[in-house]
Amino acid sequence: MGLSDHYPALIVVIFFIAAFLSPLLYRWARRVSAALIISALIAALAMVIALMAEVQQTGVVYYHMGGWAPPWGIEFKADSLRLYILLVVISVSLWIFVFALRDLQHELKKRVIGWYYTLYALLVGSMSGIVLTNDLFNLFVLMEICAISACAIISIKEDRECLEASFKYLILSAMGTGCFLLGVVMLYMVTGYLNYGYLHVELAEAFNHYPRNIFTAAALFIVAFGTKAALFPLHVWLPDAHASAPSPSSAMLSGVVIKIYAFALFLMFYEVFPRVLLDSIPLNEIILWLAALGTLFGSIYAMLQSDLKKMLAFSSIGQIAYIFMGIGLHHDSALVGGFYHIMVHAVTKAMLFMAAGVIIYSTGVREIKDLAGVGRALPITMIAFTIGSASMVGIPGTGGLISKWYLAISALEIGRPVFVLVILASSLLNAVYYMPIVINAFMQQEDFKKEAKPVPRIMLACLVIGMLFIVVSGFYTTPVVTLLQESFSAYF
Amino acid sequence: MEILRGIIDNYYYMVSIILFVIGMYTMLTHSNMIKKVIAMNIMDASVFLMFVAVGYAHGSQAPIIREGAEVLYANPLPGALILTGIVVAVSVTAYALSLIVKIYRYYETCDYDEICEIRSQE
Amino acid sequence: MSQSTVLAIIILIVGLPIIMTPVIMYSCRASEKLRNILSVATSAVTFGLTLSLYPFVIGGGEIQYTLFEVLPNLEISLRLDILSFCLAVLASFVWFLCAVYSIDYMAREHACGRYYPVLIFTLGSCQGIFFAGDLFSLFVFFELMSLIAYILIIHEETEEALKAGYKYLVMTIIGGLALFFGMIIVFELGGTVSLGVGVIIEENSALAFIAFICFLIGFGMKAGMFPLHVWLPDAHPVAPSPASALLSGIMLKTGAYGLFRVIFYVFSPELIQSAGWDLVLSVLAVITILLGSAVALTQTDIKRRLAYSSISQLGYVLLGLSILNSNAVIGAVFHIFSHAFMKSVLFLAAGAIIWKTGKRLIDDMKGIGRQMPVTMGCFSIAALAMIGIPPLNGFLSKWTLAMGALDANMVIYVLVLLISSLLNALYYLPIIIPAFFELPGDSSHEPHHDHHELQFNIQDAAPAMLSVMVILALCTIVFGLTPNNIVFTLSRLTAQYLLGGAF
């Protein structure tokens, strides 16, 4: 029983420990507290990689909390798909945190920066838990921790817009949680289990006796996770929340948090609910059509925005809809495309929000029309913005194309080419609102009017890492795609 | 008759669903922010009620082991779960209320519609 | 020449310009002259390397080499066959000459630090298009080239240029999305997008037709096919003249090249003819030819007239592609070459006139032939070639296309070619005749006064610019005198290769 056996639990616990120690350290030894969070992130990353190696060799790893076996104890499951998502979550969180180290001093009041670190650690820890857990009630608790810390890293800025946006997010998130809990009750009523594995087996049997309970539970889960993951038309909290938050929070929320809930919905539909449910009632059709509308409307709303971060937030709605389209198409290539998009969009949107953060840090400008000529003052930032926009549009050579490729192939394979047209139309709309910013930034005659503060090199380095990743993910796709294809072949 | 008998037997669940819908409706439509928080609590409480009711079996007793004959015990698991749930709901309520206090300091009103009007005038 | 040498050369041809782009960008800090020399040197080296592939290709060599796999069944590969060689050598030749021309032309312009790196980068991506071995890498380089060429188009940064550039960008993205759609359908129906497997789609189906239409939209938009030509008349005139020459001369041909690959390597000519899709292409080609020429008559700005002329000339290539017999394809490939030479001369000459005198309107160009004789001489040669007067190369390509049309028993195409030649005459002759034989600004002098004032007052363009124009004009003469020239032989071999599979 070495330490390595406890890795699944340690990944979550280490963040909570760091979260609690951080404010104490911040009071007396300021520099150490950031280092503590970073070391927690790096340690968790190392553990994830070690777990991935183990899972490659021995298959799925189950961890029982406290040694209590399910169905009485809480179980954590680590298989290659969950570890892939975990890897994306933790590495993107580490990257955003490095960016945040310099940016926060500019955006928040001094005394709350230590609390920000706490909330950040809680957020990452709870998300890791959501990915790893195999128990419905544990999922509920971790979802709530995630919701509170997500709202808190928005409201920590303490100005008018972000408080109100944070409250709206909290209320809608709480509504989602209420629906989720009711769904859990429905499932518990007919099976008496809360563990995914046991539920999967029992529900197949229970579906014959109580189909309506299970159907209600599935519908409630769609509403719950749809609200939290900003599926159209439940996205209304997202633009205010992501636009008014400090930049690292926006990057974190848009990049990682909403994806976790999409992943949780995927787990519900494929690991908890039995196959007979999806075969008999085409729930994925609903998700598919809502996602299709979401891609189009997200882009249309984004075109109308004048604030840079609001535009990026609406763009997130459109992009997360791709992931839901992958789930909704109910085909293994579509899931590969959707999950590849989780990785690509996490990096791209985080980088775009970071670029916006750099622009705001350096020049204080938030309106798009004031951005004319900023490319001369902040060249690396705007090149990063250009590459990020290229990935959003799906220009070949960036990772965005690969996910759209897979989604389009699977749409054709199941014989529904209309969704390819939806993907193409949304790519075009994405181009319509991203291109003017890029063009304006570089090509205007007049030089940028405001003064540009020099940007710390660490922030630029983060942007460069993002750019490299986007380009590499457009070409070197084999390891990720093979991993995803192997994972999904089990479900079909 | 079957339906009526079904409703009467399962009145815990019916009440719980009614409370859930009341909570959700209030949360979404009423504009006073404190009412929203109260409604959230009602919604969560209704689900907890349903949870506990699931654990109850007719003629069962509290799940504390006594010596003696075999007794039917109510399921303790839901009770444990909702204790956790109540804690979670309380912490969310606390955070929401603190947000309301801060918003009140900025806008001087607890009414969400008024806040939207103030913001649209700016 | 061994296969690995050829591969190394191809990678160098595509990679050298792209690698040199940041070098050139930073060399302007050292000196402008260094930057100019580096640009010209890079394009010269690229041309030399491309030319060195000639013995390999003419011996029947063909290479399809897979570099690596991006997704399962989707590989990035290189392809060298006679079609890619033809276009690559043409592109690098014209690029080299335009780079030389740019040195003097751009000395008076602003933002050269942006112009040269972009010029060289577009060269690299253009070569990448021609050497791509599968639709995916073709698409990647195609989009890359189109997007970077945007910077050349909006170089002047006037409001007109920005609007033209925006229109170009939107249409490029729409074309790119259509190409993506077509590529996905091909991948779905055929299982691969590689150009080395002969024919990918064998059967006609609704989905295959949609793919064909998407490719027509995507590549046709770049080639200026009706009705997707709307960006061309705005974009080509606002670019600086060497860039206009490249846009009209080479970048339009990349669209035609894409259609060549689609017709011969994705669908086979038999499928296209049996399914009746060539009718779609031929109708669009005929409309393009006539529309381009007709609207060119109404233009008063010289570069706009030349742009519309480009539209109609590309229509010839598309017409040849739609007839799909031996003479027609020879004519199409040969016309790619001849139009590149002719149109480059025309745009470069127009550019020299604008550079020297600032005049853009045709009415202002009376008498300019006496001021700039060499420039207008080259312009006239190229214009006469466009009209189709023997013994210039324009005549040879029209003749071959007409032969192809007659072989296919479509006399109507011959009629179209004749009408378009007539229209070409109608809009070129009014430029060249007044340039030599009329006085500037005024055309109502009586004949006997002209003898005194028809003097030559030579203030021509810079020698570098002149020599480029003269070289290209000579190409139009040399490659048109008889059918026994190297370019025509290459076209003949290409057509044989495409239609027959080997030569």
pLDDT tens, position by position, A174-183: 999 999 999 9
* Closest CA of chain C from A473, distance in Å: 10
Taking phi over 0 as left and psi of -120 to 50 as alpha, with beta for the rest, A61 belongs to beta
Q: Which pair of tokens denotes residue A360?
A: 């705001």
Q: What is the rounded distance in angstroms from the CA atom of residue C29 to the CA atom of residue C164?
A: 31
Cβ separation of B95 and A152 shorter than 8 Å? yes
* Closest CA of chain B from A142, distance in Å: 10
Number of other residues whose CB lies within 10 A of the CB of residue C453: 12
Q: What is the rounded distance in angstroms from the CA atom of residue A312 to the CA atom of residue A242?
A: 9
Of the candidates C329, C335, C337, C339, the one whose C-alpha atom is nearest the C-alpha of residue C503 is C329
Cβ separation of B50 and A175 shorter than 8 Å? no
pLDDT tens, position by position, A52-87: 999 988 888 898 888 888 888 899 999 999 999 999
pLDDT at B5 over 90: no
Domain region containing A388 = 282-492
Residue C445 has what pLDDT? Answer: 47
> Nearest CB to A160: which of B23, B84, B106?
B106
> Nearest CB to A412: which of C177, C180, C188?
C188
Query: Cβ(C312)–Cβ(C319) under 8 Å?
Result: no
pLDDT tens, position by position, A281-309: 888 888 999 999 999 999 999 989 889 99
* Closest CA of chain C from A289, distance in Å: 20
Mean local confidence (pLDDT), A259-280: 90
Percent of all residues in chain C with a pLDDT value above 90, rounded to a whole number: 17
| A435 neighbourhood in chain C, CB within 8 Å | 169, 173
Cβ separation of C140 and A420 shorter than 8 Å? no
Residue A467: pLDDT band (50, 70, 90) is: very high
Cβ separation of C71 and A402 shorter than 8 Å? yes
Q: What is the rounded distance in angstroms from the CA atom of residue A265 to the CA atom of residue A257?
A: 13
Which chains pack against B, by 3+ Cβ pairs within 8 A? A
Residue C441 has what pLDDT? Answer: 57
| C211 neighbourhood in chain A, CB within 8 Å | none
H or E stretch at A62: strand A61-64
pLDDT tens, position by position, C91-150: 999 999 998 888 888 877 777 778 888 889 999 999 999 998 888 889 989 998 998 888
Greatest extent of chain A over all pairs of C-alpha atoms, in Å: 72
Q: What is the rounded distance in angstroms from the CA atom of residue C372 to the CA atom of residue C366?
A: 11
| Cα four-point dihedral sign A236, A237, A243, A244 | positive
Lowest mean pLDDT among A366-370, A449-453, A473-477: A449-453
What are the residue ranges spanned by the domains of chain C? 277-442+451-503
Of the candidates C395, C399, C225, the one whose C-alpha atom is nearest the C-alpha of residue C310 is C225
ω into C430 cis (within 30 of 0):
no
| B47 neighbourhood in chain A, CB within 8 Å | 178, 181-182, 185
* Closest CA of chain C from A426, distance in Å: 10
| A158 neighbourhood in chain B, CB within 8 Å | 102
Q: Which pair of tokens denotes residue A155?
A: 């409201």
Residue C457 has what pLDDT? Answer: 64
Compare all CA atoms of chain B with the CA of A147 and give the residue at the minimum distance.
Answer: B92
Residue A217 has what pLDDT? Answer: 93
Residue C455 has what pLDDT? Answer: 58
Query: By the CB < 8 Å criterion, does C166 face chain A?
Result: yes
Query: By the CB < 8 Å criterion, does C111 face chain A?
Result: no
Cβ separation of C169 and A402 shorter than 8 Å? no
Compare all CA atoms of chain B with the CA of A180 and give the residue at the minimum distance.
Answer: B47
The angle that helices C277-297 and C302-323 make with each other, rounded to 10 degrees, is 160
Higher pLDDT residue, C61 or C426? C426
Residue C1 has what pLDDT? Answer: 67
Mean local confidence (pLDDT), A44-57: 91
Q: What is the rounded distance in angstroms from the CA atom of residue A351 to the CA atom of residue A241?
A: 18
Mean local confidence (pLDDT), C54-79: 81
Domain-embedded: residue A371: yes
Domain-embedded: residue A472: yes
| B96 neighbourhood in chain A, CB within 8 Å | 167, 170-171, 174
Residue C7 has what pLDDT? Answer: 85
* Alpha carbon distances (Å) from A363 to A183, A373, A376, A448, A458: 48, 12, 13, 10, 17
Domain-embedded: residue A62: no
Q: What is the pTM of this model?
A: 0.84
Q: What is the rounded distance in angstroms from the CA atom of residue A138 to the CA atom of residue C461?
A: 80
ω into A274 cis (within 30 of 0):
no
Mean local confidence (pLDDT), A23-37: 82
| C73 neighbourhood in chain A, CB within 8 Å | none
Q: What is the rounded distance in angstroms from the CA atom of residue A164 to the CA atom of residue A241?
A: 9
Percent of all residues in chain C with a pLDDT value above 70, rounded to a whole number: 95
Q: What is the mean pLDDT of chain C?
A: 85
* Closest CA of chain A from B72, distance in Å: 17
Query: Cβ(C49)–Cβ(C465) under 8 Å?
Result: no
Q: What is the mean pLDDT of chain A?
A: 89
Residue C502 has what pLDDT? Answer: 55
Mean local confidence (pLDDT), C342-359: 87
Compare all CA atoms of chain C with the CA of A476 and give the residue at the minimum distance.
Answer: C70
The number of distinct structural domains making up chain A is 1
Strand partners, C361: C301
Q: What is the rounded distance in angstroms from the CA atom of residue C461 to the CA atom of residue A125?
A: 71
The angle that helices C32-52 and C3-30 make with each other, rounded to 10 degrees, is 170
